[in-house]
Structure 1
């Protein structure tokens, strides 16, 4: 990795041989895990509600944070809403009795239409641990562009199905850099509190945190951060903390304590299925069609918009093409999905009047990952909660906020692992490649270097203080930084540029963007609370003025 610092065998700390002896069993477990039988491709249920020829008051494309907020508030205002979701419903247990598979044993449920896993941490001791899986409409999409892999949730509930649930409101002093055209007083006075309440945000009990074995890894992270002079902060989350305490006590089914995070959580996490979407469906005015992919939106001759959607089976094949008319359409397919669709519609002539800002302003929220090899006297624990609950805040001084992340392997690793959010200034653009017939993103891997430099303001200092080294085996051979990915795609239809100040696509009355595509590339923290709060702000205005 250009510009990175390699750990040296002579550096004080755990030896490579000692580490291999202590943790080699993980690679063996990964290699020996059995494969599941090939998944049978099945059509979406016959009861899928999108009917060709229908006239809809509102169509929402996507069921993530922005789309779920829009659906709930529109329904409460008396408007019927139909939501289409490219992924599955995730409401039916598999052969093992569970809806979601385990992180350590990915099967056909794990990845979106891949034949091999692509785990964010995909090496161990320098050897690849990804494996073959049956092609299936799984829950996690690892979408590859030229310079970056973007991880996205696929299913009813969007990203809420696959994230760690860290529900962070940005510090108010940083908000001007996040959404400069939005009044911080209304966001912090009204919409952030509303979003946090609806999402069910809570914080770990500090006394329980100090005593439970499953957060030993985070306590080691706290000790190292504080010894180097960094603020260590508890981070709110949407996990049911009472459930997690009962998991630890053995009185509730294990999810966080069973390593469930990347490919869904079976019990404790309050995803959108349990919050906004549950309330939206309870109104009786919201219906959802899973395994439907919107491919066209264009003005209809009699008013409104003609929307074409393809119905998929669980092997990814198109089983039907449906055309409906919608009076209003909300683009909520996520930063990448919304941006790609709008860029395609503009370039191919379906929505030619979209302005030239469509596709611009995309960023990765400054994501970069790394691991540190600790001393033998700093064990991080065999049992680790998969739900992170704390971070190291060096934003003001170094432009970096680091989640103390889990490595829920079931063995002692003597390793600390981090996902860092940084103030990376680079922004990319989605554009239409006519020759290839697809949308491309011009992100360059070299643009991660500012993120690496900012992350090093924390971890170089901790390593120097503790006499420890960086792990060099988690992202390749002698590669320190996970600079190839993002969990937090943002931008592509930026508020006040591609849209007006409330997400309206002004050239086409009745078309709106209401998801993370509106946010220009960075939120300084995990983004979903900001996406939710901004959607609350925008839909309130739209209902008041446009309906």
Structure 2
């Protein structure tokens, strides 16, 4: 896929295999300009209900679990804190543009908290109505964690970069997992299920909307760094039509951070669509799990709050489930498990719960280019390339868009680094917090500098100092890639079973100890495929 440098060769098989049954792109078998289809239309879960399998969360791990359980004949109910995102607003669109955030943009905030807080010396955050919007900027001590809120989880708000780690890096990512199985079976299965594809290099070289990435390529290669194309889950044929003016613009209309209305293959259109098609999966949006405890008659008692779009609670429901799968994302799963252990609801959880959390080494920066290196006023919001200095400098840098709609002469990057620092979730004062220090980002900055100091020196350019505050170079206050907190083979066994509580499982990014060396969602998906296959075979088959 592309030149294959950033990805395992195991991924390439999926460019030759078409994912047909119940999935496909957002266009699929429907007309151009399709709006997001509802992930579930059934009534929400009722008080007193009993379900064979309850899945907390509808992101990558939860969606894999729901689909495979349903295919095995198990009825599943999924609980999602966010909205269904299946109904257009007054503007006829489900999602708002990155450059025009409105009430749909943020989860229960009254002011936006954009990753780039400033531009050309001016603050860009704005007041918005409080609403259960699509992006949660959750603040902890020392870091803000960005997470998707809604049916489809992080797939709704990420850039869709579907990167399989290099095989030689995998042992450091998941040391207890058989790499041969992952690269021969589960990464291929995940890439197929996600509908992964790669940009046409010839089109990349000519289209206006990737001028920013071509400048990034030129600068990387002039400094001796490998530039790589990376796979993505966008419908590239649709994007070509966007550029040609024959389809409604989506990636070319600044849509990504707060959702994408047309061309992106989110989980709503892949795993969740297939899960719904089984007839065995129901989803309750705007529901939040607050407690899980052992039920007297076997299985587990789960307490769930039903939310309004302003964040209020309209009902509290108690249901029972034979098995519960924690898939609320690294932060959501970790916070809930730490609470349940500390309050005695699940007293047998071990001391590893809450530990091993990392930010995937995320750090951001911008560079100010010369006037002869314009990056383009029109920029696709879908990244398609990166700079790979992992072996030498411990950094993989995504060449990211800066879709302002004007020429900025700026190159922008999100780096993934080999930052060794790990945080821990803990219970104190009736709430869960994460101990993380902004200073722990320094290794990530140092690793990113191995690329960008050299490029600046070669090109005679400087860092932008107006994007993250006043005279601040590095975006070291955030992560898009939270990982860990219920680490595989520590807080759980080697397939995600929680120690001390049979029938409870973790199946999301909380299992991965802090770093994947690339964008993480393909690894989360592949690991979930591996684990649920074993769980079904060993725990659910007679």
C-alpha distance in structure 2 between counterparts of 1:215 and 1:363, whole Å: 31
Deviation at 1:47, TM superposition (A): 5.7
Once the two structures are superposed, residues 265-286 of structure 1 have per-residue CA deviations (whole angstroms, 9 ceiling, x without a partner) of 0000000000000000000000
The TM-score, its normalising length taken from structure 1, stands at 0.91
C-alpha distance in structure 1 between counterparts of 2:107 and 2:448, whole Å: 30
Give 4+ residue runs of structure 1 displaced > 6 Å after superposition: none
- Paired residue for 1:473? 466
- Paired residue for 2:22? none
- Paired residue for 2:191? 196
Matches within 5 A, 1:410-489: 410-433=405-428, 435=429, 437-489=430-482
Matches within 5 A, 1:65-76: 65-76=60-71
Matches within 5 A, 1:259-270: 259-270=254-265
- Paired residue for 1:347? 342
Contact 2:350 2:499 in 1 (8 A): no
- Paired residue for 1:305? 300
Deviation at 1:127, TM superposition (A): 2.3
Matches within 5 A, 1:34-73: 48-73=43-68
- Paired residue for 1:36? none
Q: In the alignment, which of 345, 352, 356 is matched to residue 357 of structure 1?
A: 352
Matches within 5 A, 1:191-230: 191-230=186-225
The TM-score, its normalising length taken from structure 2, stands at 0.92
Matched, 1:401 2:392: no
Contact 1:240 1:268 in 2 (8 A): yes
Matches within 5 A, 1:52-451: 52-433=47-428, 435=429, 437-451=430-444
Q: In the alignment, which of 529, 535, 538 is matched to residue 545 of structure 1?
A: 538
Once the two structures are superposed, residues 352-410 of structure 1 have per-residue CA deviations (whole angstroms, 9 ceiling, x without a partner) of 11000000000000000000000000000010000000000000000000000001111
Q: In the alignment, which of 503, 506, 509 is matched to residue 513 of structure 1?
A: 506
Contact 1:126 1:478 in 2 (8 A): no
Deviation at 1:498, TM superposition (A): 0.2
- Paired residue for 2:494? 501
- Paired residue for 1:532? 525
Contact 2:356 2:514 in 1 (8 A): yes
Deviation at 1:49, TM superposition (A): 2.3
SS at 1:294's partner residue? Answer: strand
Matched, 1:522 2:515: yes
SS at 1:498's partner residue? Answer: coil
Contact 1:374 1:416 in 2 (8 A): yes
C-alpha distance in structure 1 between counterparts of 2:354 and 2:121, whole Å: 37
C-alpha distance in structure 2 between counterparts of 1:530 and 1:97, whole Å: 35
Once the two structures are superposed, residues 281-335 of structure 1 have per-residue CA deviations (whole angstroms, 9 ceiling, x without a partner) of 0000000000000000000000000000000000000000000000000000000
**Closer/same/farther in 2, CA of residues 90 and 46 from structure 1, 3 Å limit:** closer
Contact 2:42 2:283 in 1 (8 A): no
Deviation at 1:128, TM superposition (A): 1.2
Contact 2:42 2:282 in 1 (8 A): no
C-alpha distance in structure 1 between counterparts of 2:85 and 2:210, whole Å: 29
Deviation at 1:418, TM superposition (A): 0.1
SS at 1:342's partner residue? Answer: helix
C-alpha distance in structure 2 between counterparts of 1:206 and 1:515, whole Å: 33
SS at 1:149's partner residue? Answer: strand
Deviation at 1:122, TM superposition (A): 1.1
Alignment size in residue pairs: 501
Q: Which moved more, 1:126-135 or 1:199-208?
A: 126-135
C-alpha distance in structure 1 between counterparts of 2:409 and 2:121, whole Å: 17
C-alpha distance in structure 2 between counterparts of 1:329 and 1:145, whole Å: 27
SS at 2:177's partner residue? Answer: coil
- Paired residue for 1:492? 485
C-alpha distance in structure 2 between counterparts of 1:497 and 1:177, whole Å: 15
- Paired residue for 2:27? none
C-alpha distance in structure 1 between counterparts of 2:364 and 2:41, whole Å: 43
Contact 1:57 1:80 in 2 (8 A): yes
SS at 1:252's partner residue? Answer: coil
C-alpha distance in structure 2 between counterparts of 1:459 and 1:47, whole Å: 51
C-alpha distance in structure 2 between counterparts of 1:477 and 1:108, whole Å: 27
C-alpha distance in structure 2 between counterparts of 1:286 and 1:130, whole Å: 39
Deviation at 1:46, TM superposition (A): 10
SS at 1:307's partner residue? Answer: strand
Gaps of 5+ in 2: 1-39
Deviation at 1:467, TM superposition (A): 0.2
Contact 1:214 1:385 in 2 (8 A): yes
Gaps of 5+ in 1: 1-44
SS at 1:273's partner residue? Answer: helix
SS at 1:448's partner residue? Answer: helix
SS at 1:416's partner residue? Answer: strand
